[in-house]
Amino acid sequence: MKKIYTFLALATIATASWAGGLLHNTNQSIAWQRMMARGATNEIDGVFTNPAGTAFLDHEGWTLSLNIQSASQKRDVLATFPLFPTEDHTKLYKGTASAPVIPSLYAAYKRGKWAYSAFFGFTGGGGKCSFTNGLPVFDAGIMAGIYSQTAALAQNPALQPLIAADPRVAGLLPLTADKYEINSAMKGRQYIYGFQLGAAYQFNQHWSAFAGFRLNYFDGNYNGFVKVQPKPEVLQTVQQVATAYPALAPTLSGMVNENGEMANIALDCNQTGWGITPILGVNYKTGPLTLAAKYEFKTNLNIENDTKELLAEPAAFESALDSYKDGVNTPNDLPSVLYVAAGYEIIPDKLRAAVEYHYYDDKHAEMAGDKQKALRHGTHEVLAGLEWDINKMFTISGGFQNTDYGLSDGYQTHTAFSCDSYSLGFGGAINVTEKIRINLGYFWTTYKDYTKNMPAEEGGYMGISSSLPGKDVYSRTNKVFGIGIDYKF
């Protein structure tokens, strides 16, 4: 039973992300949305994607950029478990994640060979996620636990005469899932606010370099409940049997409390923490070619609980929620990241192309429960994009990103699963004046479903019971729209 309760506790984590590695968001500008491969840009959004390139900004003085994105995502689990009282023992659990407003702000001041820059945005986490009908690990864990306990009672030699003599007793043992109702829901919120400062210096007409840091502040909340109640007719039978056979009353009261509940779990936990990311960058520019690289060091980030509610009935559930007790710290490191990119002007001042590669060293970033050790490798991303200036006023662009996370069965859980994917983006820009540009962008992500088979010989469904195999199919969708404005003065 302890293993079952542990899985229930782990299911209180809910996250979402839109683009980038497992713990990073790279879609920080509308210019990225509409082209994606922005690692070799020398424009204002390079403050994030190519900070060394800000030394080559074409405007002396201040340049500002405000970007607003709106994202929606679905995170579904199609679960198959022998105790589910549904057709084919399969049930769909739907999760929705949304972030209606995702702002990011860029500022750069260029004077001579120096460029000073600042950035603010949501660099990790991903907004809010909710599972209004709970999660399969809730249902499967509780069903298995109840069935195991009541099946053991049914095999108790001391009860055999009663079971044979009274159909009411026989009908209670074992308790199958059609005899009670599970009410559960959970929602989570995770944001990592990033505030970046740094400076770039242009050594000559070809080379520039950047040094800076990003302050990351984690803000999260996990709120959920699980209530298990016998159906009215079953509760009535329990009360009748307890009255008819006083010797069984203590056993039955252990199954159903005085409020008519078999289990009652509730959690409301806030989490906060912070860490600093050192950042280095280099940019090389010659004629139509730009080469750039950026390295972000690993960020040690521990998050601390501020728990408003933690209820566990029966008491056996309480130890499973230890990691969410007030004051407990959990590791949530941000991995080191290497970005390398190349940009080329195919037609000067007209048509540009770029390619890019990202590597996220996820296996060396400490996560809760050491989940990082289950990954096959760190995250690999490949990006490509095109941008065409139709005329002095209008620009259009499109881009592609492919993400390979190095996933494994041991990494995937119901609330923290990922799926390899590719993204497509497109959009445009309008040069309203020489100083004002409007950016519009849209991108969507196509995910590859991940199937996790859990046969009995490998511990069964979620490790709940070796006699109960199962299967999960994880799927996701993602759509993001954005608008932004760049201003030079």
Encode 300-350 in three state secondary structure: CCEEEEEEEEEEEECHHHHHHHHHHCCCCEEECCECCEEEEEEEEEEECCC
Average pLDDT over residues 233-256: 83
The phi-psi region of residue 127 (left if phi > 0; otherwise alpha if psi is between -120 and 50; otherwise beta) is left
Residue 157 in domain: no
Residue 294 in domain: yes
* Distance set, CA 419 to CA 60, 234, 403, 408 (Å): 43, 42, 9, 10
pLDDT of residue 16: 43
Residue 92 in domain: no
Average pLDDT over residues 328-356: 96
DSSP H or E stretch at residue 335: none
Average pLDDT over residues 70-96: 92
Q: Domain range spanning residue 289?
A: 18-76+97-133+186-225+267-313+330-488
pLDDT in tens, 411-422: 998 878 899 999
Percentage of the chain beyond pLDDT 70 is: 95
pLDDT of residue 7: 46
**Of 186, 331, 193, whose CA–CA distance to 268 is shortest?**
186
Residue predicted with more confidence, 291 or 235: 291
pLDDT in tens, 89-147: 999 999 888 788 899 999 999 999 999 999 999 998 767 788 888 889 888 888 888 88
Residue 444 in domain: yes
pLDDT of residue 186: 85
Q: Where do the DSSP E strands lie in 17-174?
A: 61-80, 90-111, 114-131
Contact 326, 306 (CB under 8 A): yes
Domain count, the chain: 1
Tokens representing 437 are 């540009």
Residue 13 has pLDDT above 80, yes or no: no
Residue 290 in domain: yes
DSSP H or E stretch at residue 332: none
pLDDT of residue 368: 84
Average pLDDT over residues 58-84: 94
Cis peptide before 469 (omega within 30 of 0): no
Collapsing DSSP to helix, strand or coil, 55 comes out as: helix
Residue 86 in domain: no
DSSP codes of every residue in 374-437: G-SS-EEEEEEEEEEE-SSSEEEEEEEEEEE----TTT--SSS----EEEEEEEEEEE-SSSEE
pLDDT of residue 160: 85
Percentage of the chain beyond pLDDT 90 is: 62
Residue 295 one-letter amino acid: Y
Q: Rg of the Cα trace of the chain?
A: 27
pLDDT of residue 18: 54
Gap between the terminal Cα atoms of the chain: 65
Q: Specify the CATH number for the domain of residue 120.
A: 2.40.160.60
Residue 15 has pLDDT above 50, yes or no: no
Tokens representing 8 are 């229930």
CA distance 443 to 37: 13
Residue 145 in domain: no
pTM: 0.90
Residue 295 has pLDDT above 70, yes or no: yes
pLDDT of residue 139: 87
Residue 256 in domain: no
